[in-house]
Amino acid sequence: MTATLDNDIQDFCEYISTVRRLSPHTVSNYQRDLEKLSAYSAKENISHADKIHAADIRRHVAELHRKGLGGKSLQRYLSSVRALYTYLNKQGRSKNNPAVGIRPPKSQRKLPSTLDVDRVNQLLNFQADAWLDTRDKAILELFYSSGLRLAELVSSNIEDLDLADASIRVTGKGNKSRILPMGSFAIKALQDWLAVRNNVNTTDNKALFISKRGQRINPRTVQARIKLQALKQGSDQKVHPHMLRHSFASHMLESSGDLRNVQELLGHADISTTQIYTHLDFQHLSKVYDQAHPRAKKRNNK
């Protein structure tokens, strides 16, 4: 008896989890996307994968778009469907791949939120006396100094630090490693943190940042602590880890104008991803122009 679509999805998720050893987070993303396909197919009375055609996928994408799903989410959905059918083709369960060649509607590209230099200084210039504050300051300084992703910071180990060389080795997307420079403020904050890090019993001697329970710090903890520190320093913006990464990139580009260098520091595979910061830089220059140029603004007086 031919396996149902739900059986196929279950087998595929088990395959990418046990054979390909993808992370639980990635497997969960695939599962959520493919549940959408399952729900749509059930509504259309389609129970088997080989009965789904390109026209069905196009209709489903259009339906999801009408419900408010953005271009990036739809792109991920299509990628998940293509991956499912690639697996089914190899297993001999289907001869087609209905998502091939289908592109999602383009969504408007949003510029990332950043902090200006004064607000960054306001956020970072605090006295760290308590254990948690010392850790938080080191985290904040490292984010802004080197432009790390949240996952990169959480997975960093003590051995990745080279304080003498003022650098840190991080492992980014695609398991690619890169070495990033660190500024003097970040180095000082990290030295202070390492001096008190072992004041709690730790179960992870490798982890650079640990929780009060001695375990490797959780991404949600980092997010919550950054939000809390921003409130304590009087920030009126909702500060999160990626905002510090965006601020790092924007300020680097403002100062250097070297897009390729910023791309390398951020670990972007494609320079088009980095180019969004040129729009931020232009916004900054436009404000300066409006404030400084005598004929920049329209005059009401005739």
Q: Which residues are catalytic?
A: 149, 173, 242, 245, 268, 277
**Cα 249 from chain centroid?**
14
Q: Checking DSSP bridges between strand 177-181 and strand 161-162, what pairing results, if any?
A: unpaired
Residues paired with 210 in a beta bridge: 216
| 207 φ/ψ angles, rounded to the nearest 5 degrees | -60, 135
* Helix, strand, coil percent values for the chain (each to nearest 5): 60, 5, 35
Q: How many residues does the chain have?
A: 302
> CA 253 to CA 147: how far, in whole Å?
12
* Among 133, 129, 190, CA closest to 163: 190
* Among 121, 112, 120, CA closest to 280: 112
* DSSP SS3 for 263: helix
